[in-house]
Structure 1
Amino acid sequence: MAVALNEMAEKELIKHFRHKGTWLERVPSKNKWVNNDVIKLTEIGADPDVLINNNTYPIPISSRTDDSVAISLYKYDTENTRITDDEVYALPYDKAGSVQEQHRETLEEKTEEHALHSLAPSANTADTPIIETTGDDDGNGRLRLRSQDLINYKKTLDDLKIPKAGRILVLSSEHVADLLIEDKALERQYQNHTDGMIAKNYYGFEIYESNYSPVYDGSLNKIAFDSVTPGSSASVLFHTKTTGKARGSVKRYLAKSDDDPQNRETVVGFRLYFLAIPLRAKGQGAIVSGTP
């Protein structure tokens, strides 16, 4: 019976673990590639050339070299929560159910933050361009993001032949505020949006917002996740065709009060395996707040 209840709790967490209404919904799921909390990724080789009005034969033959790599999913553990029998008896609500929901929501928030950090490029390269904002000083030594920055960035992506459909831009809270100040049309969309997307097409980007943003140093190198090292916050660009996410196993850890006669309390926690990463080093980018 205890095993069955544990399995039900794990299935319930998986059922509702959807990152609903967030930018992470736009990252394609690769769950079917996962085995034993390891995902096997294949980077597809170069596209074939297309010949127009060809009259030279034989037609050239080329090989396509694909690279495969196995990656372990990240392991996320929640800290355990204590539920005493006295609480269960006295409270007018299902505290155990509330605790499980809280653990799921916390896992969703942390995996979403970590995923955005993982999708952000490590550094500025030809295939993963990072630009700095060029607007007015916001009064705190930070240059605001302006629409001209997005127009210039769109041109950079066009030159890289990044497909126009599927360009997702997750704006930091600072950059959202910058654009709302500048663009009244966007402000109207922002006030009326009902899900995670702010705009379906804004200078060629699908626009989302995140309270979390990766941080870059002065050389435009990404600072480690959850680091206390200061830096400049960034908005993140990715393309749906070059990214993937995968969820592995979920386990609930439970010590019941029946087995704890001394303290008479239940302790519960969860472990989840999850990953969201680029599938190739092209199609990602970032917009970092510049300085005067």
Structure 2
Amino acid sequence: MQEAGVDPEVYIDNELYPIPIVTRTDIPHEIMLKRFDTENTVHINAIEIEESAEKRQSVTEGHRNSLRQKFARLAAFNWAPAGNGDFTPVKAATGAKNARGYKAMTYEMVMDMELAFDELEVPTEGRILILNPLHAMDLRMQDLNMYKAFYNENKLFSFTVVRSSLTPRYNGTTGQKAPWNAAVAATDAPSSLFYYKEAVARARGTVDMYYRLNDPEYRGDVVGFNMRGVATPVTGKYLGAIYSPKA
């Protein structure tokens, strides 16, 4: 992929001829696909006969759900900035203590993030907010009518809103994103994610099923699933987060 280079200069009342000629230098980016494999599951035929349940279908759907959830969690983790930066505003919530003991998210903080995106000149079309359910509860407690309005429209100020509990955790003391699969810590802070849709890349391939039918050892079927995909920032810019440290 190519990130466009610097746009050309514009001259006002130009008196210099010939007008200078420059070459735009684009920045190349390489995005590597990851492979997702589910652990294999055995489906014993005799059990399904005894239970009179369509367990085979349930098993296969469980594999697909696991792949979808793992991919979504990885996407949210990768798209969340590691910490506060010039192009990646990361802010700590400052509201009162909520029912879970964290500092609450407020509408004012969402407006502050909108201002940060405005200052970065991020286009308003394509701004996304992945709203953590805990933060959704905070906003509902702050103003129920306002919450109902944006919940019905999936739009809060200039952000299109998607609710998800798969957003990453931040260190509530340092403001840094917790490592992938890090153990739960007392300093963990739930977060909501903000990003510009053109600043991230996502591609998910077809889901392939691998199976061994009528296995003589298990007297049933052994199945597993595989998928290739990627979810990553493209340039590392125009990403943001609000996290709630312990109150």
| Alignment TM-score > 0.5, same fold | yes
Match of 1:34 in 2: none
Flag the 1:185–1:57 CA change in 2: closer, same or farther, 3 A: farther
Distance 2:19 2:236 in 1: 30
Match of 2:158 in 1: 204
Of the candidates 212, 237, 244, which is equivalent to residue 201 of structure 2? 244
**Structure 1 vs Structure 2 CA RMSD:** 2.2
After TM superposition, the runs of 4+ consecutive aligned structure 1 residues lying more than 6 A away are: none
Match status 1:107 vs 2:61:
no
CA displacement at 1:52 relative to structure 2: 5.2
List gaps (5 residues or longer) in structure 1.
Answer: 1-40
Match of 1:98 in 2: 58
Of the candidates 63, 67, 72, which is equivalent to residue 23 of structure 2? 63
CA displacement at 1:72 relative to structure 2: 2.5
- The answer (yes or no) to whether the contact 1:232–1:290 under 8 Å persists in 2 is yes
Match status 1:267 vs 2:222:
yes
Distance 1:92 1:54 in 2: 83
- The answer (yes or no) to whether the contact 1:168–1:238 under 8 Å persists in 2 is yes
Match of 1:26 in 2: none
List gaps (5 residues or longer) in structure 2.
Answer: none
CA displacement at 1:51 relative to structure 2: 4.3
Aligned length: 244
- The answer (yes or no) to whether the contact 2:128–2:160 under 8 Å persists in 1 is yes
Match of 1:255 in 2: 212
Match of 1:11 in 2: none
Distance 1:153 1:70 in 2: 29
Distance 1:254 1:72 in 2: 27
CA displacement at 1:130 relative to structure 2: 0.5
Of the candidates 146, 167, 176, which is equivalent to residue 213 of structure 1? 167
Farther-moved stretch of structure 1 (48-57 vs 131-140): 48-57
Taking structure 1 as the reference length, the TM-score comes to 0.76
- 2:203 partner amino acid: A
Taking structure 2 as the reference length, the TM-score comes to 0.88
Match of 2:236 in 1: 281
Describe the superposition over 1:120-139 as per-residue Cα deviations: whole angstroms up to 9, x where unpaired: 01121111110111111226
SS of 2:205's equivalent? strand
- 2:161 partner amino acid: I
SS of 1:72's equivalent? coil
Q: Percent identity?
A: 32
